[in-house]
């Protein structure tokens, strides 16, 4: 038997129809979800309509499995599968430490449609970040290529000259929302591209590291007290679809709100979940 046939591929190297992808194979090898895990993923759903699922991912929950990861969204999505259907598919990613909006699709066609919207910049993402440093360092647009590297066992994105090996174009729009007496600032970030750690690397490059971001020089202590988490939250997403625009919002978590309050930073309207 040929190598292509052993690995489920046709002679041109493409997967044969019906052949399992590596991610599908890994999912099939995983143990079934527990009742608590199913309850967890269902509790994160903030939108489920027309084949699109929006999750409000908490900080600390990995999006995909990997070394040292015991719980991840990709595996938990099996808990949202309709009877007799495949689990929903992730459409994009969030860093493990980042909280907020994360999209999945119930069908391959919907996943392809959403992925194309992200690739074509028809998806507009808005993040909130709390940074350390003077507000006068902020600029409206960072256009700084990034390249991935590993340093001391950590995967990082670092500034790179255009055209150098591994460099990828990266653009992030920035705006100051509030400045606290402690020197911390609340910043709105709108990534125009989707590079690894893009917002984190761009803000650190301005001398404005995100609080709690030890990978990029962020502090774990402030005059208002300890930093409980990476202070980066995916607040909202607007995406253009054939049926019309879809706008989604994931309110800021309590730990994020609490530190903003301690630092004298007012969150924008719509970022705080209404009291029940």
- Decide if 147 contacts 164 (C-beta within 8 A): yes
Alpha carbons 104 and 121: distance in angstroms, whole number: 17
pLDDT in tens, 220-274: 999 878 999 999 999 999 998 888 899 999 999 999 999 999 999 999 988 887 6
The half-sphere exposure of 18 on its side-chain side, counting CA atoms within 13 A, is 1
| Digit-coded pLDDT (tens) for 239-250 | 988 888 999 999
Return the pLDDT at 224: 78
pLDDT band for position 27 (cuts 50, 70, 90) = low
The helix or strand, by DSSP H or E, that contains position 74, with its residue range, turns out to be helix 73-76
Per cent of the chain over pLDDT 90 is 75
User: What integer is the mean pLDDT of 132-156?
Assistant: 94
Task: Enter the tokens of residue 115.
Answer: 């992925």
Q: Which of 33, 31, 143 is nearest to 81 (CA)?
A: 33
The pLDDT of 113-117, averaged and rounded, is 91
pLDDT of residue 158: 94
Taking the C-alpha atoms of residue 236 and residue 255, their distance in angstroms, rounded to an integer, is 18
Which among 263, 271, 276 has a CA at the least distance from the CA of 130?
263
Domains of the chain and CATH, by start: 20-120 (3.30.2350.10), 122-266 (3.30.2350.10)
Distance CA 232, CA 235 (A): 9
Q: What is the mean pLDDT of the chain?
A: 89
Residue 10 neighbours by CB distance under 10 Å: 12
Query: What's the whole-number mean pLDDT along residues 98-121?
Result: 94
User: Rounded to an integer, what distance in angstroms lies between the CA atom of residue 217 and that of residue 208?
Assistant: 9
The least confident of 11-15, 84-88, 164-168 is: 11-15
| Catalytic center residues | 95
């Amino acid at each position: 038997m040929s190598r292509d046939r052993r690995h489920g591929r046709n002679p041109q190297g493409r997967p044969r129809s019906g052949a399992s992808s590596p991610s599908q194979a890994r999912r099939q090898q995983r143990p079934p979800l527990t009742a608590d895990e199913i309850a967890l993923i269902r509790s994160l759903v903030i939108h489920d309509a027309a084949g699109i699922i929006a999750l409000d991912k908490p900080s600390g929950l990995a999006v995909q499995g990997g070394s040292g990861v015991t719980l991840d969204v990709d595996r938990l999505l099996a808990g949202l599968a309709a009877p007799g259907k495949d689990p929903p598919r992730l459409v994009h990613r969030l860093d493990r430490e980042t909280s907020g909006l994360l999209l999945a699709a119930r069908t391959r066609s919907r996943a392809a449609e959403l992925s194309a919207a992200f690739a074509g910049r028809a998806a507009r993402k808005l993040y909130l970040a709390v940074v350390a440093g003077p507000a006068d360092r902020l600029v409206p647009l960072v256009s700084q290529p990034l390249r991935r590297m590993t340093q001391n066992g950590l995967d990082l994105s670092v500034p790179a000259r255009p055209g150098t090996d591994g460099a990828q174009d990266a653009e992030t729009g920035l705006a100051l929302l509030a400045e606290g007496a402690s020197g911390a600032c609340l910043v709105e970030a709108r990534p125009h591209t989707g590079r690894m750690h893009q917002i984190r690397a761009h803000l650190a490059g301005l001398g404005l590291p995100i609080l709690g971001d030890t990978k990029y020089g962020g502090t774990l202590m402030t005059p208002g007290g300890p930093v409980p988490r990476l202070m980066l939250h995916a607040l909202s997403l607007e995406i253009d679809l054939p049926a019309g625009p879809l706008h989604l919002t994931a309110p800021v978590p309590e730990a994020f709100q609490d530190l903003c309050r301690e630092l004298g930073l007012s969150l924008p309207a719509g970022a705080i979940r209404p009291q029940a």
